[in-house]
Structure 1
Amino acid sequence: MDIKRSVLWVIFVVSLVMLFDNWQRHTGHPSMFFPSPTVQQTASPATTTPGEQTADTSAATPGAPATPGTAQVAKAERVTVKTDVFDADFSTQGATLSRLELLKEGDTKQPDMYVTLFDNTATHKYLARSGLSGGDFPNHDDIFTRVPGPTSLADGQNTLQIKFESADKGGLKLVKTYTFTRGSYLIDVDQQVVNTGTTPLKPSLYVELVRDSEPVETPRFSHTFIGPAVYTDQHHFQKMTFGDIDKGKADFATQADNGWIAMIQHYFASAWIPPQGKDRNYYVQKLDSTLYRVGAQMPLGTIAPGQTVNVDAKLFAGPVEEKMLAAIAPGLDLVKDYGWVTIIARPLFWLLEKIHSYLGNWGWSIIALTLLIKAVFFPLSAASYRSMAKMKEITPRMQALRERFKGDPQKMNSALMELYKTEKVNPLGGCLPVVIQIPVFISLYWVLLSSVEMRGAPWIGWIHDLSQQDPFYILPVLMAGSMFIQTRLNPTPPDPVQAKMMMFMPLAFSVMFFFFPAGLVLYYVVNNVLSITQQYYITRMMGQRKTKKISAPVVPPKQ
């Protein structure tokens, strides 16, 4: 039991530290564990400024963003495109996707739940762009011309094409065709490179995502990943924080003929998926104090005069729904970030999704999954509660031994061990089953925190969105009450100070649960209620057996 209390104390102290750290981040102060991405103000690695060329133009890095206020920016126009899932803006400067609002995220939910993923304002920059490098060729700083055509997906129409053409520059012309498909978050981007000159040229095509370090809204006292990622078949999923990039510690595959790049945030992501089997160089850079980019650069080989080369890439921008992402590209479902518990969290979400396919309500699905997990761990929990019940019975005798031998720790430990042996009590019996279950509980926490399916999903009555905190704090109050009851059911610590702290723990933990998403709190409330029921039943059964054993008549020996 001493070991179990030690484990509880460690969890309690760590929780308090994390609570304080999350409060620091929430109030705008620096974190003790997660470095601020804006600390370092140094310039990014050397890049090609618009209008300049590197010494070796065949390996030129894509150009840096144009400086606001230049003549090209003034000429840029906005082209608004609407489909059933997107409300988007293209800038004719670079034919860049400069704003993208996800309409489907709010159509059957609250109207204020529309999400603007790409954006280009004074306070937030997040772009999907592309161009040619390796010379003074058309890139994302140049003005493109939109080819006339519809800009809205009409009723009964399945696809919509938006086409842009650059002027001849350096002997090359770049034509971009964006194809939107009804009901899909995946955009086909065909980029046609035409040699309009008289000499062979060797350009490279790049696709990149550019984003500032502005944080997105997440549940309070919770930390979710935000930053770029690179995936290849050989090195698999490699994500990096903006702080890693600041410090030059970004670790990722730089060359491959497969894979994709992504920019990840809570619930949503964007990704460029170049054609598989085509060589590309991956790069991750810091452009200025708050602006970062991740990209893929693909050499196109030698293009003869009059020759045309097509590169058909795909651009994803939408919610991180595992099944949908897995069908788009290998490993793309990994942008749903479970952290180090992925190996357990992914099967748990699969099971939760299966349950939801039958129940049709995520709240009831969470309850059903909690019941199922409790059933699987019933033998372990039962062993733990039996051990705790035995420890509770001998607690007065343990306290008496501590008082008797308080001046001699060696004799006290010897006496306690003898008591455990006599009563057949394992002091680790109540601790180990709990420790074994902890990874599963943590994994389920990340499943509920990371699943965009919870966003806008109602349960019953007052719970209209499982991803938001309980508006009336009913679930957090139930959580605090259930934790208090559990504390009362456990053996009382012999130390009065420890006993008071154990009673204080439910209140301390409840502070966090008042700000947690309702889906998370629902899981913990149900889990606690089931634990209380199980513990009460086992303790009562053991008490009844003990009473029967004491009251049983003594049979005299045969004469």
Structure 2
Amino acid sequence: MDQRRLILFLVFSFSLVMLWEGWIKHNNPQPAPQATAAAGAAATANADGSVPTPSASLGAGQSAVPGEQAATAAAPRVVVETDLLRAEVSALGGDIVRLELKQHRASGEADANFVLLDDGTTRHQYAAQSGLIGEGLPTHKTLFTLPASELSLKDGEDRVVLRLQAPEQNGLQVTKVMSFQRGSYLIDVAYEIRNGSDQAITPHAYFQLTRDGNPAEQVEAFGVTTFTGPAVFTDAGKFQKVHFEDIRDGDAKFVKTASDGWVAMVQHYFVSAWLPEQGTQREYFARSLGNNLYSAGLIMPVAAIAPGAEASVGTRLYAGPQEQDKLEGIAPGLDLVVDYGWLTVIAAPLFWVLSWFHSLTGNWGWAIILVTVAIKAVFFPLSAASYKSMAKMRVLGPRLQRMKELYGNDKAKMQQEMMNLYRTEKINPLGGCLPILVQIPVFIALYWVLLGSVEMRHAPWLGWIQDLSAKDPYFILPVIMGASMLIQMKLNPTPPDPIQAKVMMAMPIIFTFMFLWFPSGLVLYWVVNNVLSIAQQWQITRMIESGKAAGKSA
């Protein structure tokens, strides 16, 4: 019995430590990163004749030089608006320097759109940049000519196209073309190049995402934090996260060259990614630019353009939510940006079931409840075994107490008599532990599904719960959860050790306090699970106690 209680106590203690650590880190402010030296060099070829990465040759990104940051802020912009996006495109480089997602609200601001790409006026420095490598060709620091007015998707139109003209140099005429589509977070970015010079040119195109290293909507759970940073996917290397710290220290490891894959900037709930066509050779890179700025992207070759000839090069940019039912259809492996931590193999099927229930109910709150019921049904036999063991121990409580009084000073004799009693009553003192241990990975995986799915973000349930990803505004669900934990403790047999009994009784209070700040969708899951457990445990305990009473009467 002592071993079983020890295992249960360790399980609760582990959960408590992980939850407490997660709550502390989530609510503490992040330390400001130290600035590093600015990077940037002249746009020249390497000694071996290879083309340098644009982040090195062009000082990529929102430069660490304050004067260049000021130039970016002062450059004219044009607004492009669709049914899903509101993009601000700068004349400097033709870069998307601000992108609002109209179907998603900013946290804590009911009337403000969520800003993914950001010019620093909201929270981050974060831009989608591109350019060409070659003498006389425009880069992300070239000043393009903008249209006279903003562009918007009109009724009956499927797309809106923005054309930006670069200044002609050495007879080279370049137009940057950006196509925005209705009902899509995909943006086509291409360069039309006309060689009016008297020599053939062999340019390269680069597409990059430049961002500061500050976390976005970062959450930590059970010791694992949601990832913020670049990621590279190739058939050879699969999904590879690239941490900002490794980029800064020069230790970033990922596949550098491939003819497939994509490069992305990942954060909690949202992602931006450059998605070249499969079969096109490309080089991936990630660099630190200094002043807490990082750039990750790819370089693509352009076929030789003869004098008087024209050519084009381009790729797609996805900038939007991590909607799992759509990501996989956009590009192979893109659904892997949804970060479920180390239990993805369990969490992914759970999300599929959750989505199926949502398709039936149309509400994520009811879907969470139905998933909880389904999980409880799957583990019903294991839970029943656990509760039967607890109920039998509860019935034996008076006899165990008498043993303690008789053999309290002789622990060996006490242990021997207890084992004889278990053998006589056919009780496995560890019978209630295995079911609980087996279910822990499933519970943690579901926790991650509810925590990491953008579908839960700002999703209402009913009444006062209008955002399943945010805390309960009136703390009603955490209080109910704490009360349900207390009832469960009362149904369990009382630990013989007084100190252990006091610790177990304090658990509902401690967990209630920590769950006050947890997303309401997670608390809803715990409440429903506890209620179902109470009903099952009460029924089993009542049946066993009734059977014992009937046996004594007979």
TM-score, normalised by the number of residues in structure 1 = 0.90
* 1:145 and 2:145 aligned: yes
The answer to whether the 8 Å contact 2:8/2:433 transfers is: no
* 1:78 and 2:77 aligned: yes
CA distance in 1, matches of 2:73, 2:449: 46
* 1:103 and 2:95 aligned: no
Task: Give the match for residue 553 of structure 2.
Answer: 551
* 1:263 and 2:265 aligned: yes
The answer to whether the 8 Å contact 1:191/1:312 transfers is: yes
Match of residue 456, structure 1, among 446, 458, 464: 458
Percent identity over paired residues: 50
Structure 1 portions without partners, runs of 5+: 31-35, 553-559
Task: Give the match for residue 332 of structure 1.
Answer: 334
Match of residue 359, structure 1, among 361, 367, 384: 361
User: Is the deviation greater in 430-439 or in 141-150?
Assistant: 141-150
The answer to whether the 8 Å contact 2:137/2:169 transfers is: yes
- Report 1:30-429 matches (<5 A): 38=33, 41-43=35-37, 47-49=40-42, 54-55=46-47, 58-62=50-54, 63-64=58-59, 65=61, 66=63, 67-70=65-68, 73=72, 76-106=75-105, 111-112=110-111, 114-121=113-120, 124-133=124-133, 137-146=137-146, 151-169=151-169, 172-218=172-218, 223-401=225-403, 409-429=411-431
SS at structure 2 position matched to 1:80: strand
1:268-308 Cα deviation digits (max 9, x unpaired): 11111012101111112221131112111112243333333
The answer to whether the 8 Å contact 2:163/2:178 transfers is: yes
The alpha carbon displacement at 1:121 in A equals 2.2
The answer to whether the 8 Å contact 1:147/1:165 transfers is: no
SS at structure 2 position matched to 1:297: strand
**Count of paired positions:** 543
1:220-246 Cα deviation digits (max 9, x unpaired): 878422111111122211123323433
CA distance in 2, matches of 1:396, 1:249: 63
SS at structure 2 position matched to 1:116: strand
User: Is the deviation greater in 302-311 or in 422-431?
Assistant: 302-311
CA distance in 1, matches of 2:203, 2:50: 7
The amino acid across from 1:377 in the alignment is: F
For the structure 1 residues 520 and 189, does the alpha-carbon distance in structure 2 shift closer, same or farther, using more than 3 Å as the test? Answer: same
For the structure 1 residues 56 and 462, does the alpha-carbon distance in structure 2 shift closer, same or farther, using more than 3 Å as the test? Answer: same
User: Is the deviation greater in 132-141 or in 437-446?
Assistant: 132-141
For the structure 1 residues 275 and 171, does the alpha-carbon distance in structure 2 shift closer, same or farther, using more than 3 Å as the test? Answer: farther
SS at structure 1 position matched to 2:466: coil
The alpha carbon displacement at 1:172 in A equals 4.6
The answer to whether the 8 Å contact 2:178/2:188 transfers is: yes
SS at structure 1 position matched to 2:524: helix
CA distance in 2, matches of 1:170, 1:488: 84
1:463-521 Cα deviation digits (max 9, x unpaired): 11211111111101000000111111112111111111101011111122111111111
Task: Give the match for residue 485 of structure 2.
Answer: 483
1:345-392 Cα deviation digits (max 9, x unpaired): 111111111111111111111111111111111111101100111222
CA distance in 1, matches of 2:377, 2:553: 34
The answer to whether the 8 Å contact 2:90/2:96 transfers is: yes
For the structure 1 residues 29 and 352, does the alpha-carbon distance in structure 2 shift closer, same or farther, using more than 3 Å as the test? Answer: closer
1:57-95 Cα deviation digits (max 9, x unpaired): 642110223434259648731111111111110001110
CA distance in 1, matches of 2:285, 2:447: 33
CA distance in 1, matches of 2:531, 2:173: 67
For the structure 1 residues 301 and 389, does the alpha-carbon distance in structure 2 shift closer, same or farther, using more than 3 Å as the test? Answer: same
CA distance in 2, matches of 1:416, 1:172: 91
The alpha carbon displacement at 1:324 in A equals 1.2
The amino acid across from 1:541 in the alignment is: M
CA distance in 2, matches of 1:432, 1:116: 46
Task: Give the match for residue 439 of structure 2.
Answer: 437
CA distance in 1, matches of 2:74, 2:200: 31
Structure 2 portions without partners, runs of 5+: none
Task: Give the match for residue 18 of structure 1.
Answer: 18
CA distance in 1, matches of 2:544, 2:97: 67
CA distance in 2, matches of 1:296, 1:360: 40
User: Is the deviation greater in 166-175 or in 388-397?
Assistant: 166-175
The answer to whether the 8 Å contact 2:36/2:292 transfers is: no
CA distance in 1, matches of 2:408, 2:40: 71
SS at structure 1 position matched to 2:132: strand
SS at structure 2 position matched to 1:234: coil
The answer to whether the 8 Å contact 2:77/2:88 transfers is: yes
The amino acid across from 2:283 in the alignment is: N
The alpha carbon displacement at 1:551 in A equals 2.0
CA distance in 1, matches of 2:16, 2:29: 17
CA distance in 1, matches of 2:199, 2:404: 93
The alpha carbon displacement at 1:171 in A equals 6.5
SS at structure 2 position matched to 1:438: helix
The answer to whether the 8 Å contact 2:78/2:149 transfers is: no
The answer to whether the 8 Å contact 1:448/1:520 transfers is: yes
SS at structure 1 position matched to 2:547: helix
The amino acid across from 1:80 in the alignment is: V
The alpha carbon displacement at 1:261 in A equals 1.1
User: Is the deviation greater in 151-160 or in 299-308?
Assistant: 299-308
The answer to whether the 8 Å contact 1:221/1:515 transfers is: no
For the structure 1 residues 418 and 230, does the alpha-carbon distance in structure 2 shift closer, same or farther, using more than 3 Å as the test? Answer: same
SS at structure 1 position matched to 2:201: coil
The alpha carbon displacement at 1:437 in A equals 0.9
CA distance in 2, matches of 1:244, 1:5: 43
For the structure 1 residues 201 and 496, does the alpha-carbon distance in structure 2 shift closer, same or farther, using more than 3 Å as the test? Answer: same
The answer to whether the 8 Å contact 1:206/1:297 transfers is: yes
Alignment RMSD: 2.7
Task: Give the match for residue 556 of structure 1.
Answer: none
For the structure 1 residues 299 and 4, does the alpha-carbon distance in structure 2 shift closer, same or farther, using more than 3 Å as the test? Answer: farther
The answer to whether the 8 Å contact 1:110/1:456 transfers is: no
For the structure 1 residues 366 and 167, does the alpha-carbon distance in structure 2 shift closer, same or farther, using more than 3 Å as the test? Answer: same
* 1:499 and 2:501 aligned: yes
For the structure 1 residues 176 and 426, does the alpha-carbon distance in structure 2 shift closer, same or farther, using more than 3 Å as the test? Answer: same
